[in-house]
Amino acid sequence: MKDIGKILVFLLGSVLLGALLAPELYWVCVWLGRHANVAFLRDVEFRRVFDRAILFSVLCLLWPLIRWLRAASLREFGLERDPRRWRHLILGAAISLGSMILLAALLIASHRYNQRVLFSWLKLASVLPAAAVVALLEEFLFRGALQGLLERSGSALQALFFVAALYSIVHFLKPPPEGVRPGAVTWLSGFETIPNSFWQFRQPRLVLGGFITLFIVGVILGYARSRTRALWMPIGLHAGWVVGKLGFAIVAIRTPVDAGFWFGPDLLTGVAPVCILACSGLAVAGLLRCEK
């Protein structure tokens, strides 16, 4: 339990450091957009910079966490070398990206989204390295460190569901869409954004839709980790979902059509995303059970 406490301190520290750095990073982005002619930074939103600041803080504090945990090898986290690592990585990415493409096609076919005529290919290409960094960091933290430590002190099933729930809660916390006005960003805007990030918990439909979807994602990632005793397939799955989510936001735009039973107000909510993700989980389970 001492190690779990250290990880929770790491998560809290990452949030606080990100909140501290977010205004400075935002002002740097604004300056680059206006004076260095960096097109995709001209209209950058503070809430997006806040998310990136948290990720940057995780990256900065990850090595101190490893030293604090005194982890000498991957075996201490229940991880082993994966002889089929490239197969698992590619299969994971193919399954998750394929599920996102299917979901995107359904959303466009139902006229809830329209494909943009013009979009930035540079911005679309930037999704790939962003997805790789996010997948590596989050899988090492959630499925690598946290799930491994919990499996060492309890049952594998309990560890899987606990980490999936924590993963869902962490990702369900996000700044409100309106965010902070461009001219109103101050040194304290990052800390003011933290309590505002709980706004989705006040909307039952978003809780039932988005939270459940993220929980299913966490269960699939945790199962792949437990089954392979490695992080290659979870990283592939995670990266594919991030590429699909971020890429779809760039190439498509939401229409004013009311959200129905199958599709919610965003990409993650609704019955259809849950069904598609469940099928992805079955595909992962089926492929891994066929391996000898």
Q: Determine how many CB atoms are found less than 10 A away from the CB of residue 253.
A: 12
Percent of the chain with pLDDT over 70: 86
Tell me, what's the pLDDT at 218?
Answer: 94
**pTM given for the model:** 0.81
Query: Taking the CA of residue 254 as centre, how many other CA atoms within 13 Å lie in the half-sphere pointing to its CB?
Result: 10
SS3 255: coil
CA atoms 224, 228, 230, 235: torsion sign: negative
Asked whether the beta carbons of 103 and 243 are under 8 A apart, the reply is: no
Of these ranges, 34-43, 178-187, 273-282, the one predicted with the greatest mean pLDDT is 273-282
Tell me, what's the pLDDT at 146?
Answer: 83
In sequence order, what DSSP letters do the residues of 70-130 get, joined into one string?
A: T--SGGGGT----TTHHHHHHHHHHHHHHHHHHHHHHHHHTTSEEE-SS--HHHHHTHHHH
Tell whether the model's pLDDT for residue 17 goes beyond 60. yes
* Stronger pLDDT, 175 or 264, i.e. the higher one: 175
C-alpha 23, offset from chain centre? 22
Tell me, what's the pLDDT at 13?
Answer: 92
Min mean pLDDT across 58-67, 126-135, 218-227 is at 58-67
Tell whether the model's pLDDT for residue 198 goes beyond 80. no
The rounded mean pLDDT for the chain is 83
- Residue 67 to residues 4, 15, 64, 152, Cα–Cα distance (Å): 14, 20, 5, 19
Task: Please state the rounded mean pLDDT for residues 113-129.
Answer: 83
Percent of the chain with pLDDT over 90: 25
Tell whether the model's pLDDT for residue 61 goes beyond 80. yes
From CA 220, how far away is CA 237, in angstroms rounded?
9
From CA 149, how far away is CA 145, in angstroms rounded?
6
